[in-house]
Amino acid sequence: MHAIPSLSFRRLLDAPLSRGLTLLCVGALIAWATPALAQNFTPRDESPEDFPAGAGRDETFYACTACHGFKLVAQQGLSRAGWEDSINLMVRRHNMPALDEADRARLLGYLEATYPPRAPAARGGWQNPFSKQ
Amino acid sequence: MAQETGRQGADLSRDGATQTVASVDRGRRGFLGGSGLAAIGAVIGSGMPFSDTLVPAASAQGTAPAKGPQHLKYPGKNEGLVVLGERPLVAETPESLLDDDTTPTEKFYIRNNGQIPEPAKDPEAWKIVIDGEVNNRLELSLGELKSKYRIATRRMVLECGGNGRSAFSPPARGNQWTNGGAGCAEWTGIALADVLKAAGLKSSAKYTAHYAADLHLSGDASKPSLSRGVRIEKAMDPYTMIVWGMNGEPLPNIHGGPVRLVVPGWPGSASQKWLTRINIRDKEHDGAGMTEFSYRVAIKPMVPGEKGDPKNFRILESMPVRSLITNPANGAKFSAGTKELKLRGAAWAGDLTVKAVDVSTDFGATWHKAGLSKPKNKYDWQRWTATVKLPSDGYFEIWTRATDSKGVMQPHQAGFWNPQGYGGNAMHRIAVLVG
């Protein structure tokens, strides 16, 4: 069995940041900001439980959120081959560490089962605003 | 200078990251190698500085994402924008918010490929470098750009290369844009051509390569998050601009300020945000976002969903024709007995203009011509209006289709499937209920 923590490097966001530092930054911002738009943005905190349960969910979540939100993953609807291509792309082009066979299979299992090709995709495609389904 | 500003966030985060990594290190050995750790530290840190003040309201601890669209909470931006992703921050503008002749900055879509840099402390000192196949390497501050070249303001469409992607079937990989990865703002700046002329293009100059100050999502400072370019002919188009103003205000940080490119009519990724350098090359650029299936479409049409062969792909240049209904909004309700609807919208066509817009209230069985305005300048969108009669109360869909100046019309479906879903310009439709 895979221990979930073996893939978990995401919770870092929860760790407290020194308050002094935060205040300092905000102060600096106000000093040289052009109006409202100049401030930075804190992504909302995602957690594995926000996404459909399934074998491999937590490992997939932690493996795929080192660089970007899981929402980017959950937006997709891909075949197993499409997911494989995506993982290869992350490794080849975006600095993702290569996965060993077991981790790879586990991630693919979850992705394939949870986010298969479907139309319309997650939130995309055209949806009838009056439809009750 | 520009570089420094861009990295500031990363330096900050590294400090924060050291402590954080140490405190949670227990669990994650064995998965990532050492290099991964450093990268992740930087990434995690980047989101931290303002966590006390600016956590979106909807993100109260432990709250699952609401069903339905997630609305943007970002200072100075309209809450009607729909978040496609927060890291990187990507948000689109629902069609009904594109109802202004000039898209207000607060309603303009957001697309990032990397981390959002800290706002520049001294925008006037922001520097860009022009080098490569030129006789004189130039290093110009924003102050110099403003004083040395002829300034112009133009209203031009900026559109994400993936706009319309969500209409592909099977789904194509990438942010699932509906039609809202587009807007039309007044851009103030100078012609890139004037700067290139000053630098003196060598006869070997073929292609541009754009570089910027935003960090790659992995935190690796040596890796551009996006580096695209265009053929030198497009770079010399007088409408291809280096801009610092948007709708009469300094270009906001979130839109690439203090200095970005606007390469109108082509995928938005060519319009590099936080621009620091344009390298002139003697061959096609091969930076991040230029190769394989990125911003490319199939030459020989492929079976939807199949694995593509990169050799069969060409760079997407001009964006395809598109029209939107911006009023009424999808889902609008009208009182019983309403017999007529007034429609408004926008249409544009990449490098071309729009020749006609038609609307239908019967799923395309019959079509009616809309009145179409002229663009204010090249690359502006064209606003249209139409009045349609409804035969009864009930459920109606209103469809719109535009035809470009070469006679090419929007199709019913996103066609010519490709793995990353470019060129999807299916007709726009809304549903309304009368009575």
pLDDT number for residue B47 = 32
**pLDDT the model gives residue B368:** 98
Q: Which of B54, B65, B217 sits opposite A68 (nearest CB)?
A: B217
Which of the pair, B344 or A17, is modelled with greater confidence?
A: B344
Residues of A within 8 A of B89 (CB-CB) are: 41, 43
B151 by Cβ neighbours in 10 Å (0-12 / 13-18 / 19+) ranks as middle
Q: Work out the widest C-alpha separation in chain B, in whole angstroms.
A: 71
* A-B Cβ pairs (cutoff 8 Å, strict): 236
| B363 plus B309 within the same structural domain | no
pTM of the model: 0.84
pLDDT digits (tens, 9 = 90+) for B27-79: 232 333 333 333 333 333 333 332 322 333 333 333 344 467 899 999 999 99
Tens-place pLDDT, residues B160-204: 999 999 999 999 999 999 999 999 999 999 999 999 999 999 999
pLDDT for B347: 98
Which residues between 2 and 41 in chain A have a beta carbon less than 8 angstroms from any beta carbon of chain B? 5-9, 11-13, 15, 17-19, 21-22, 25-26, 28-29, 32-41
Question: Cβ–Cβ of A32/B122 closer than 8 Å?
Answer: yes
Q: Are B324 and B164 in contact (CB under 8 A)?
A: no
Amino acid B30 reads G
CA dist B130 and B128 (Å) reads 7
SS3 B331: coil
Residue A24: per-residue pLDDT? 30
Provide the residue type at B62 as one letter: G
Q: How far is B43 from chain A (nearest CA, A)?
A: 7
For chain A positions 47-66, those within 8 Å of chain B (CB to CB) are: 47, 49-50, 62-63, 66
Q: Are residues B273 and B415 in the same domain?
A: no
A76-126, pLDDT tens digit by residue? 999 999 999 999 999 999 999 999 999 999 999 999 999 999 754 545 567
Instruction: To the nearest 10°, report the CA torsion of B182, B186, B187, B191.
Output: 110
Q: What pLDDT does residue A41 have? A: 82
Same domain, B307 and B397: no
pLDDT number for residue B163? 98
What is the per-residue pLDDT for B188?
Answer: 98
**Beta carbons of B305 and A117 less than 8 Å apart:** yes
Question: Are both B212 and B359 inside the same structural domain?
Answer: no
In chain A, what residues touch B65 (CB-CB under 8 Å)?
A: 44, 46, 50, 71
Among the listed residues B83, B112, B108, B88, the one whose alpha carbon sits nearest the alpha carbon of residue B98:
B108
End position of a domain, from candidates B269, B299, B318: B318
* DSSP class of B172: P
CA B374 to chain centre: 24
Q: Does A125 touch chain B (CB under 8 A)?
A: yes
Other C-beta atoms lying within 10 Å of the C-beta of residue B227? 21
B140 and B253 both lie in a single domain? yes
**Among B17, B52, B118, beta carbon nearest to A22:** B52
**Is the Cβ pair A17, B49 closer than 8 Å?**
yes
Instruction: Output the six-digit token pair for B85.
Output: 């992703």
Q: Strand B371-372 vs strand B382-389: parallel, antiparallel, or unpaired? A: antiparallel
Where on the phi/psi map is residue B247: left (φ > 0), alpha (ψ -120 to 50), or beta? left
Q: Are residues B304 and B337 in the same domain?
A: no
Q: Which of B14-28, B111-125, B370-384 has the lowest average pLDDT?
A: B14-28
Q: Which residue has the tokens 């009904």?
A: B96
Which of B176, B218, B249 minimises the CB distance to A95?
A: B218
- Please tell me the distance from the alpha carbon of residue B376 to that of residue B381, in angstroms, as a whole number: 8
Contact across the interface for B216 and A76, Cβ inside 8 Å: no
Confidence of residue B111 (pLDDT cuts 50, 70, 90): very high
User: Could you tell me if B388 and B282 lie in one domain?
Assistant: no
B189/chain A closest Cα distance in angstroms: 18
B99 and B136 fall within a common domain = yes
The whole-angstrom separation of Cα B354 and Cα B371 is: 12
Q: Which residue of A has its CA nearest to B30?
A: A6
Q: Chain B: residue nearest A35 by CA?
A: B76
Q: Which residues of chain B does A123 touch, with a Cβ-Cβ cutoff of 8 Å? A: 68-69, 166, 176
**Residue type, position A103, single letter:** D
Distance (Å, whole) CA B294 – CA B180: 20
Domain-ending residue, one of B256, B289, B318: B318
Is B166 within 8 Å of A85 when comparing Cβ atoms?
no
**What is the sign of the dihedral through the CA atoms of B430, B431, B434 and B435?**
negative
Higher pLDDT, B56 or A133: A133
The residue that leads in pLDDT, B284 or B9, is B284
CATH classification of the domain holding B88: 3.90.420.10
How do residues A28-67 score in pLDDT, each as one tens digit? 333 333 333 435 688 888 999 999 999 999 999 999 999 9
Q: Which domain holds residue B415?
A: 322-434
Q: Which CATH number does the domain housing residue B402 bear? A: 2.60.40.650
Token duo for residue B415: 């066609």
From the CA of A48, how many Å to the nearest CA of chain B?
A: 10
**A39 to chain B: closest CA residue:** B75
pLDDT averaged over every residue in chain B: 87
Query: What percent of chain B is modeled with pLDDT above 90?
Result: 84
Whether A41 and B33 lie within 8 Å, measured CB to CB = no
Question: Are B187 and B256 within 8 A, CB to CB?
Answer: no
Q: Which of B169, B427, B175, B166 is nearest to B294 (CA)?
A: B175
pLDDT at A3 over 60: no
Which of B24, B92, B179, B307 should we substitute to test contact with A (largest number of A Cβ atoms within 10 Å)? Answer: B24
Task: Identify the closest residue of chain B to A15 by CA–CA distance.
Answer: B20
Residue with tokens 């940080």: B253
A117·B170 Cβ contact <8 A:
yes
* Total residue length of chain B: 435
Q: How confident is the model at residue A23 (pLDDT cuts 50, 70, 90)?
A: very low
Is the pLDDT assigned to residue B348 strictly greater than 90? yes
Band of pLDDT at residue A132, cut at 50, 70 and 90: confident
Using 50, 70 and 90 to split pLDDT, how confident is the model at B155?
Answer: very high
Give the CA angle between residues B368, B370, B371 to the nearest 5°. Answer: 145
Task: For residues B270-289, give the mean pLDDT.
Answer: 98
Q: Are B41 and B80 contained in the same domain?
A: yes
- A129: nearest CA in chain B? B331
Query: What was the pLDDT predicted at B68?
Result: 78
Question: Can you name the residues that pair with B398 across neighbouring β-strands?
Answer: B430
**Cα–Cα distances in Å, from A4 out to A67, A96, A103, B390?**
19, 19, 11, 58
- Suggest the residue from A12, A94, A127 to mutate for an interface test with chain B (most B CBs closer than 10 A): A12
**Helix, strand, or coil here: B281?**
strand
Q: Could you write out the three-class secondary structure of B368-428?
A: EECEECCCCCCCCCEEEEEEEECCCCEEEEEEEEEEECCCCECCCCCCCCCCCCCCCCCCE
Which residue bears the tokens 């106000």?
Answer: A30
Q: How many structural domains are present in chain B?
A: 2
Query: Greater confidence, A36 or B280?
Result: B280
Side chain identity at B87, as an amino acid letter? R
Q: Do both B159 and B192 map to the same domain?
A: yes
The answer to whether residues B427 and B368 belong to one domain is yes
* A96: contact with B, CB 8 A cutoff: yes
Entry field: residues in chain A: 133
B89 contacts A130? CB cut-off 8 A: no
- A-chain CB neighbours of B12 within 8 Å are 21, 25
Interface test with B, best of A8, A21, A37, A131 (most B CBs within 10 A): A37
Same domain, B299 and B345: no
| The last residue of a domain, from among B278, B299, B318 | B318
Beta bridge partners of B349: B352
Q: Which of A19, A29, A60, A67 to mutate to test the interface with B (most CBs of B within 10 A)?
A: A67
**Cα torsion through B132, B134, B139, B144, rounded to 10:** -140
Tokens of B62: 């432990």
